[in-house]
Chain A
Amino acid sequence: MTLEAFQQSEALTLGVELELQLVNTNHYDLTPYAPDMLALLKNAQVPGSIVPEVTTSMIEISTGICTDAQDAYQQLSVTRDALVKAADKLNIALSGGGTHPFQQWHQQRIYNKPRFKEITALYGYLTKQFTIFGQHVHVGCPSADAGLMMLHRLSRYIPHFIALSASSPFVQGQDTAFDSARLNSVFAFPLSGRAPFALHWEDFERYYDKMTATGVIHSMKDFYWDIRPKPEFGTVEVRVFDTPLSIERAVALAAYVQALGAWFLAEEPFEPSEDDYLVYTYNRFQACRFGLEGAYVDPATSESFGLREHILLTLQRIQSYVPENSKEALQQLRKTVNEGVNDASRLREAYAQAQQLPEVVRQSTLRFRY
């Protein structure tokens, strides 16, 4: 299958996808209600889409094309309200968070859809372990080459995205000591990690053709990269975010990507290079493990920063590129960075008080709901 052409999209438009947890309201474990939720929501009037995910305790929502944070918030609010109404009817609840704190992966069931069955046939238990929940942010790019340039520039900020969205400290009932343990599950897939260093679409097409010729991949969907181009939308898709606990946080993260993109397009502040990736995995690990308290090595200067410090510096730098309707969202983001609080720390605090993970999940469902 050849790579489809990179479609035109309006530069810096946004699209947000959220993978959400469906939980039982008695014991707050994951519950396989996706088919019933989707049946109830079949005719719901929502701006984007609501679709199944790989296991039956997950559901994915997405916005349509958004212009800014406020637009994304309005769209996600409508969808969230429709979801909550349907969940109330079924006596279940929805929650954000990159992992469910105590679900057992082997109890999950694959959603009955050919693609999910194929993935399971190939990856075995990894598919059920993929019951993890991420946020994807699409940002519109004016051309294919601009998209690849955007992709590699954004790669330097992957640790920011991870630390800011981190909401998966608990896995299988244990505190992992990671702020984002979700990405460890993604790493198990052979086609995960970073995209190949190609700055021109022809080069990327050549890479893609070679890969399809090997039979290893059949479409762009087979790549589980941290950031990947999405030619049919004309966007670049950032995929490292844990699903935050609230849609406000999800919108703020999308606004951050958009503002970075605006800065890149307006100033072209640096030229990406293959050497950027020398410290990529280290920086990524630091963000996953320590969240906002992690270290960050600048790939250009090899200078070491605290991640919080580097995020605040970046927020300062891109301030003039933040659209009016996104300013409040980024202000909130800056506030939480100043306080050193992300969703992982909120979850740990909830556990410290309740001492029971089901109660932590219940509090997460309330945070998503309101």
Chain B
Amino acid sequence: MSWCILVAAAALAGHMVFRLTGFPRMLGYTVVGLFAGWLGFGDLPWPLQGNTQVLLHTAVGTSMLIAASQISLKWLLRQPFLLLQSLVESMAALVLVTGTLQLLGMGWAVSLGVGVVAMAASPSVLLRISSDLRSSGAVTDRSLLMATLGCIYALVLGLVITVAWSPVPGTDAQSGLVLTAAGMGHLLWNLGLTLLWALLTTAVLWPVLRWTSSRSDSTALYMLAVLVAASLLAERLGGSSALGFVLAGVMLRNLSPKPMVWPSAFMAGNTMLNLLMFVLVASMAGQMAPSAALISVVAAASLARLLGKMGGVLLLGAGTGIGWLRQWPVACAQSPSSGLALLIASAQVAQWAAVNPEVAISVSSIALPMIVLCEVIGVLLASLALWRSGEAHRGIGLSALTSKEKRHDT
């Protein structure tokens, strides 16, 4: 019952935010989630487990599948500068956040753990923003591409440091990370399983995405069932379902030139799953007890992340096909963080808690508020940037929404 009330409140708050300010609905979802977390509403386990984990994996997975299915490898090979740009912005976020936390006296395990979480941008947020603000064009497409590539790097590195490395056993929060032979074996096993989930997802989605109608509700149900099944298998047996969905999206897009037709009901399903995801992310962060010291660390890490991501995009903006001035909104659109970052943080905490609980607690206390802070600031920044770039359909605010919204003479 508590979840029913939470979802209803989030939906209403999202609608109000959108109607009154013009900003995307997810801001409303996040606010409700934060309140729910503070009030202890929903009683969610941390790190994520069971149904909550499967739900978040499925929610993130649908968005990642959709976003990754827009990556043309042929194009990236023709424009390798884009790959370099995304790599630089992700690595810059990792290095700056890790470095900042080191300067603030955190141990290597905590610094690097939070640094990897900071690498992840949010294709889910960008898909929602482009849907709510009806944004399309070169900036929107580039933003989604960069965010998706950033997530791939974060997922791979997240898997590596979670499975192959672990903090020095004990209760020292300043602990470093150690690589173990068993960890390397686990890493290979997890990578193999991830590839298996990707291949299975590709194989079962291939026919329906290529040969059915966009109006087919049964296709949408079939697809959602496949994604839930893959998430369940990954939870039970290992591997990363999120990375598997990304790889599946890339394979689906590139194994045949024939375009895919996404069922509209699947996109609607993705919208609902996203609502749950934004509420869940904020609820988790809301559980953290704030303190002045924590707030300053989180603010410093978030600022370092923002600088790294924006600096990386702007530094290598020239030569990617759109002008340098158009790189600004792309850079701003890399600032949101959301469900995927939460999944990476949750996996780290789940793995490390048994080895060194203090490290796990420190990672949680910094990463969770950082994710929400970046989600809120990122949504505002990305929305304003897309609006300023001329690609979002309407401006921000009530007047923009009400004046001639439905008229086609402007």
Q: Does B132 contact A (CB under 8 A)?
A: no
Nearest CB on B from A214, distance (A): 22
Given A26-B69, A26-B253, check contact A124 B321 (CB 8 Å): no
Asked whether B409 lies within 8 Å of A356 as measured between CB atoms, the reply is no
Assess whether B322 is in contact with A359, with CB atoms less than 8 Å apart. Answer: no
Shortest C-beta distance, A354 to chain B (Å), equals 8
In whole angstroms, how far apart are the Cα atoms of A109 and B321 in the complex? Answer: 22
Judged by a CB distance under 8 angstroms, whether A28 is at the interface is yes
Whether A358 and B69, one on each chain, are in contact in the complex, defined by CB atoms closer than 8 angstroms, is: no
When distances are taken between beta carbons in the complex, the residues of chain B under 8 Å from A31 are 136-137, 141
- Residues on B with C-beta less than 8 A from A351 are none
Nearest neighbor of A355 in chain B, beta-carbon distance: B211
Interface residue A310 (Cβ < 8 Å from any Cβ of B): no
Assembled-state Cα–Cα distance A354/B393 (Å): 33
Interface of B is mostly: loop
Among the 9-residue stretches B153-161, B163-171, B255-263, B343-351, the one with 4 or more Cβ atoms under 8 Å from chain A is B255-263
1/0 per residue, CB under 8 A from B, across A345-370: the answer is 00000000011101101100000000
List residues of chain B with CB within 8 A of the CB of A89.
78-79, 321
Tell yes or no: B236 within 8 A of A by CB. Answer: no
Bound CA–CA A124/B408 (angstroms): 5
- CB contacts (< 8 Å) of A127 on chain B: these are 408-409
The interface stretch among A32-40, A154-162, A192-200 is A32-40
Closest chain B CB from A74 CB (angstroms): 26
Tell me whether B407 and A124 are in contact (CB under 8 A).
yes
Q: Which A residues are CB-close (under 8 A) to B141?
A: 24, 31, 91
Q: Which of A28, A36, A91, A359 contacts B137 (CB 8 A)?
A: A36
Q: Is the CB of B138 within 8 A of A124?
A: no
The reply to whether the CB of B410 lies closer than 8 angstroms to some CB of chain A is yes
Return the chain B residue nearest A86 by Cβ. Answer: B321
With beta carbons under 8 angstroms apart, the residue of A27, A90, A110, A124 that contacts B322 is A90
**Cα(A128)–Cα(B322), bound, Å:** 26
In the assembled complex, A106 has its CB within 8 A of some CB on chain B: yes
Number of interface residues of A (CB under 8 A): 36
Is there a chain B Cβ closer than 8 Å to A120's Cβ? yes
Are the C-beta atoms of A91 and B72 separated by less than 8 Å? Answer: yes
In the bound complex, do residue A27 and residue B138 qualify as a contact, i.e. CB atoms below 8 Å apart? no
Task: Give every chain B residue within 8 A of A120 (Cβ-Cβ).
Answer: 408-410
B185-215 at interface with A (beta carbon < 8 Å) = 211
Complex CA–CA separation, A127 to B409 (angstroms):
8
Given contacts A25-B72, A124-B407, contact A359 B138 (CB under 8 A): no
B134 within 8 A of A: yes
Q: List A1-41 residues whose CB lies under 8 Å from chain B.
A: 24-28, 31-33, 35-36, 39-40
Contact A32 to B136, CB < 8 A, known contacts A124-B409, A362-B258: yes
Assembly CA distance A42 to B72 (angstroms) = 26
Closest chain-A Cβ to B68's Cβ sits at a distance in Å of 11
In the complex, A112→B391 CA distance in Å?
Answer: 12
Given A26-B69, A120-B409, answer yes or no on A32-B258 (Cβ-Cβ < 8 Å). no
- Min distance, Cβ B234 to any Cβ of chain A, angstroms: 26
Whether A207 is near chain B, meaning CB under 8 Å from some CB there, is: no
Would you call B390 an interface residue if the criterion is a C-beta within 8 Å of the partner chain's C-beta atoms? yes
Inter-subunit contact A359/B408 (CB<8 Å) = no
Taking the complex as formed, is B45 at the interface, i.e. its CB lies under 8 A from any CB of chain A?
Answer: no
By a CB distance below 8 angstroms, the chain A residues around B79 are 89, 91
| Pairwise interchain contact A32-B391, C-beta atoms closer than 8 A | yes
Flag if A88 contacts B69 (CB, 8 Å).
Answer: no
The docked-state distance in angstroms from the alpha carbon of A90 to that of B409 is 29
Chain B residues whose CB sits within 8 angstroms of the CB of A32 once the complex forms: 136-137, 391
B78 nearest CB across to chain A (Å): 6
A33→B259 contact, CB < 8 A? no
Query: What's the Cα separation between A74 and B103 when bound, in Å?
Result: 64
Residue pair B69, A90 in contact (C-beta under 8 Å)? no
**A106, B259: Cβ atoms closer than 8 Å:** no
Q: What residues of chain B lie closer than 8 Å to A278, measured between beta carbons?
A: none
Interface string of A309-340 (1 = CB under 8 A from B): 00000000000000000000000000000000
Residues from chain B with a CB closer than 8 A to the CB of A124 are: 407-409
A window 67-85: CB within 8 A of B = none
Judge whether B70 is part of the interface by a CB distance below 8 angstroms: yes
User: Which residue of B261, B321, B410 contacts A90 across the interface (Cβ within 8 Å)?
Assistant: B321
Cα distance, A42 to B75, chains bound together (Å): 22
A125 interface residue per 8 A CB criterion = yes
A59 to B165, CA, bound (A): 54
Chain A residues with Cβ below 8 Å from B257 are 362
Q: In the bound complex, do residue A359 and residue B259 qualify as a contact, i.e. CB atoms below 8 Å apart?
A: yes
The answer to the question of A107 belonging to the interface, with a C-beta cut-off of 8 Å to chain B, is yes
Known: A26-B69, A26-B253, A362-B257. A36 touches B138 (CB 8 A): yes
Q: A26-B70, A32-B136, A39-B323 are in contact. Are A358 and B259 (CB under 8 A)?
A: yes
Complex formed: what's the CA distance from A112 to B34 in Å?
41
A28-B407 in contact (CB<8A): no
Which residue of chain A has the shortest Cβ distance to B76 in the bound complex? Answer: A91
Which residue on chain A has the smallest CB distance to residue B408?
A125
Type the 1/0 row for B397-410, where 1 means its CB is closer than 8 Å to any CB of A.
00000000001111
- Minimal Cβ-Cβ distance residue in B for A109: B393
Closest-by-CB residue of A relative to B259 is A358
Q: Check: B326 CB closer than 8 A to any chain A CB.
A: yes
B321 A356 Cβ-Cβ under 8 A: no
> Which residues on the A side are within 8 Å of B259 (C-beta)?
26-28, 356, 358-359, 361-362
Residues of A close to B211: CB separation below 8 A: 355-356
Contacts of A107 in B (CB 8 A): 134
Q: Which residue on chain A has the smallest CB distance to residue B262?
A: A27
Residues of chain A within 8 A (CB-CB) of B323 are: 39
Q: When chains A and B are docked, how far (Å) is the Cα of A88 from the Cα of B76?
A: 11
Please, how many angstroms separate the alpha-carbon atoms of A8 and B410 in the complex? 39
A319 to B388, CA, bound (A): 57
Please indicate which of the listed interface residues A31, A91, A121 has the most CB atoms of chain B within 10 Å of its own CB: A91
Q: Nearest Cβ distance between residue A308 and chain B, in whole angstroms? A: 34
How many Å from the CB of A365 to the closest CB on chain B?
10
- CA of A109 to CA of B407 in the docked complex: distance in angstroms? 12
A48 to B119, CA, bound (A): 47
B: which residues have CB within 8 A of A?
Answer: 69-70, 72, 75, 78-79, 134, 136-138, 141, 211, 253, 257-262, 321-323, 326, 390-391, 393, 407-410
27 pairs, A vs B, C-beta closer than 8 Å: A25-B72, A26-B69, A26-B72, A26-B259, A27-B259, A27-B262, A31-B141, A32-B137, A33-B137, A35-B390, A36-B321, A36-B322, A39-B322, A89-B79, A91-B72, A106-B408, A107-B134, A109-B393, A110-B410, A121-B409, A123-B409, A124-B409, A127-B408, A358-B259, A359-B258, A361-B259, A362-B257
Given A31-B137, A91-B79, A362-B257, 8 extra CB contacts under 8 A: A27-B259, A27-B260, A32-B136, A90-B322, A91-B141, A109-B393, A124-B408, A358-B261
User: Which A residues contact B (CB, under 8 angstroms)?
Assistant: 24-28, 31-33, 35-36, 39-40, 56, 88-91, 106-107, 109-110, 112, 120-121, 123-125, 127-128, 354-356, 358-359, 361-362
